Amino acid sequence: MFHAFLKQLKRPSGLLGIIVARMMESRNRKYYDKAISFMEIKNGERIFEIGYGPGVGIELLARNYGCYIAGIDFSDLMYKKATERNKEFIDAGKVDLKYGNLLDSDLDSAKYDKVFCLNVIYFWNDLNKAFMKVSSLLNDNGIYFIYMTTAEELTRLGFDKEFFKYSVEQVESALRQAGFNKVEYEKDNGYYIKAWKC
């Protein structure tokens, strides 16, 4: 049963996925608040979220900033939930939500100023491949933001299956290998990581 729950965190679906989505909505809001302030967003920027889940972060951005916001998630359930939550912004052309796997999707050639993801990189076994893909989405001065819980916390929670537990040093090294030239991070109940293309 616990393994089924962990699978839901990776890609929510069905009834259990609806419950997991509610948990994410309430528990992860504080990480979005902090991540968004860490991102120092300016009106007019183009922002992209990977693994938007129920769309809480997309909504916070759309309500509070004059930005264009897009994102991708490979859960059909999350695509539907996030679309419902952000309908007014989608109708207004401010938000564009895509359904698909970041790693093999053919995203349009339009570039973004900032790309971010919260609680997603644990599901990637090949960080280099994922980070190269992120880099291709960013414009030349673009910045990539990651929030991740610590490996120790994942172990404490018993999140052993489905999750890859990366240290912040491993993530930094993979970012640099993928061409991000400057990487900084803050620790606060997990890591808020910032990586610059140039």
Ligand X SMILES: C[S@@+](CC[C@H](N)C(=O)[O-])C[C@H]1O[C@@H](n2cnc3c(N)ncnc32)[C@H](O)[C@@H]1O
Residues that bind ligand X (CB under 6 A): 9, 11-12, 24, 28, 50-53, 72-75, 78, 101-103, 118-120, 123
Give the bridge partners for 98, in sequence order.
72
Residue 29 DSSP label: H
Shortest Cβ 72–ligand X spacing (Å): 5
Q: Are strands 112-118 and 138-148 parallel, antiparallel or unpaired?
A: parallel
Minimum CB distance to ligand X smaller for 68 or for 79: 79
Minimum CB separation of residue 121 from ligand X in Å reads 9
**Packed helices 168-177 and 127-137: angle between N→C axes, nearest 10 degrees:** 60
Angle between helix axes 29-38 and 14-27 (nearest 10 degrees) is 50
CB of 176 to ligand X, least distance (A): 21
Nearer to ligand X, 74 or 192 (CB): 74
The distance of closest approach from Cβ of residue 111 to ligand X in the complex, given in angstroms and rounded to an integer, is 19
Nearest to ligand X of 54, 142 (CB atom): 54
Smaller CB separation from ligand X, 63 or 182: 63
The CB-of-21 to ligand X minimum distance in angstroms stands at 8
Query: Which two three-digit tokens encode residue 153?
Result: 């916390």
37, 127 contact by CB (below 8 A)? no
Beta bridge partners of 144: 115, 195
Evaluate whether 86 touches 97 at the Cβ level (below 8 Å). yes
Cα dihedral 71, 76, 81, 86, rounded to 10, equals 30
